[in-house]
Structure 1
Amino acid sequence: MDEHVFGMGSVPVSVAAKVYGKDATWIRAGIISGWLPIGVATRDGKKITTIEEINSKYGRINFYISPKKLYEETGYIWEGKTQ
């Protein structure tokens, strides 16, 4: 089995959107709703799991996209820098 070395930290939402050929909003909605199993969305340390929680009046949502999970889903290897 090949050993892949992934970049440190989260894959930016914009990079994941390019990999999937979709809009960044699609990536965010998929992560929050759970049908895109590549990461997690949080606000103030609490996991966001419904579209209703997206409202910006509640504060900023942070997205963590796992380089390993993105690779497992798409075959894309995140090297830690934007393309």
Structure 2
Amino acid sequence: MLPIDKTEYDVFVDALEDRCPMPLLKTKMALAKMDVEGRLCVLASDEGSMKDIPKYIEISEYILEDSKTIDGIFMFVIKKGSV
């Protein structure tokens, strides 16, 4: 498991047990509720997440600050831009 300090983020989404499309849907729902400039951390294990989440961020107003994969776990740190 990735060592995560959840206090570094405004919102944390654990999608480790979820299969496509749930990690992306949970990411979208979390971002929609967040304040501008808020930071979201998403953990997912579904391989589709590695493609789906960055692609969604690319076409949105959000910023992918970091993404990494460790032991089959995908971690994304997303900053909410202006809406």
Q: When you count helix as a share of all residues, which structure comes out higher?
A: 1
Q: When you count strand as a share of all residues, which structure comes out higher?
A: 2
TM-score relative to the length of structure 2: 0.26
Structure number with greater Rg is 1
TM-score relative to the length of structure 1: 0.26
